Chains A and B, each alone.
Chain A
Amino acid sequence: MSVTTVLVLAAGTYLLRLAGPLLRGRIEVSERARQLLATAATTLLTALLFTAALTEAGGFAGWARPAGVAVGAVLAWRRAPFVVVVIAAALTAAGLRLLGIP
């Protein structure tokens, strides 16, 4: 991989990251718009977690991962500590794979 490829990817990624904060600093954003942007961000993160939990390379990811995420989700819903949520999800997926479930 050439240095140019890396640099173009880095520059593009950085500009995408910087554009948001800079634009927000220049324009007056109403409270209502601010709420909508927060909802948009939550929507993106939720979509990200669902696609990451269920899919792999455009197909179904197998049962172990969604099962692990579901265990983590239940724990999070019951207000378990963040660390417990993350570790329980990983252990569940790892355990199911040990048992032969992909």
Chain B
Amino acid sequence: MNNGIRKIALIMVFSFVFLSLGLVYWQVVKADEMLDNPANRRAVYLEERITRGGIFDRNGVVLAKTEQTADGKVRTYPQGEMFEPLLGYATVKYGSAGLEATEAETLLGMKNPSILRRIQNAFELQRTGNDLILTLDSRLQETAYQSLQGKTGAVVAIDPQNGDVLALVSQPSYDAGAIEQDWDKIIAEEDSPLVNHAFSLFPPGSIMKVITSAAIFQAGLDTTELYDCEGSTVINGQTIQEQNDKAHGWVNYDLALAYSCNTYFAQYGIKAGVNHFLEAVSNFGFGRDIPFDQYVPISSITRDDPLPENLSLNLFAESTFGQGQVMVSPFHMALITAGVANDGKIMVPHLIDSVLDSKQNSIYRRTPEVWLTPLSKEEAEKITSGMVLAVNKGTASPGAISGAQIAAKTGSAEPGGDGDTHAWYIAFAPAENPEIAVAVLVEHGGTGGGAAAPIAKAVIEKALELKEGEN
């Protein structure tokens, strides 16, 4: 009989041990996943008890904060529409979006709390989350916002040397403070204000030539060789046309980039070969996830495959100057520009400068690191000289500013279907020692030089002025 009892006792102990493994599974292994489950309202209810941390720009300007009023907590956005939809919103009724959503755990102080923090959490019912300090500069943001207002599109400004996002504007935008009242109006609006256009994909048009340049250099082609542009050329039965069928005459690489010569880049791109082209786009981050705090869709070369093994000749020819099926986000384009500016090294982009806990102790600080190195220093300098020529003699001249040399490239991308072309402008300045890289997209804005260049110009002027003020 005692033998039977021992066996049953063993079964019981084993079952209890198995049960505790179940607890390990839920409380350790699956804990994060369960918190993210849409049916789990835990985060929302916890939030009601926690005062959400504030969001500040790099100079301490308040972008979002929670105020205690007689009726409870209210989340306010003192800068109005300027930082939307990047900042997003946080409401009980409609959930949250933007930074407010992606950084919710940090703002609520629930992400990787220290041991001390955990003990505090266990005894304090009312507590305050962490503050987010962004890399954005609200003065630059304001300039970008003012310049883009009334249009649809995006402006992204990045410090090429460390990857700090200095300004990020998407239009149309909305007032996050009034989101609950305006909800129905906002979601009914055309061009969806809730969508961040800086993180949406568009055909790049001629700004793609910057990337095709890398393929041309890396294939070892002679860039001093002259090419006679006749306004159009036929490749494999497909006619490649210049904008307005303009014949550029005899051009070398620098002039071809400055004049934005489609046929040159198609011919020389094909000469470089599809393998060099696909390697170059991959090195620039096509088909890759961008390491960033916000979700940015993967830029792609074809509709079916972001980074295909091969391309048909016709599609390849179109892709060299950013048509065909190439899609890229303004944010990624700003990174590419910053890479050219930073001697061919693309830095990991940062939007969050640091995180401070409720006692203002720093619990996170970003560190600059290289993401990709698509170009050598010499190759980057070659592209820079072409972009400088584009500003001084070519299509990018509307972006020129006095007092500093800028390097830029325009793009006017066929959106597919009717409507004006998307206007692109990528630029950095000063060309010899870049401090800011900008990508501007105006949807259906017409030409890059006409619609996008003035916006980039205003942002760069403001950035250089602020830099001068600091020194």
B is bound to A: no
Q: Which residues of A come within 8 Å of B, CB atoms?
A: none
Q: Which residues of B come within 8 Å of A, CB atoms?
A: none
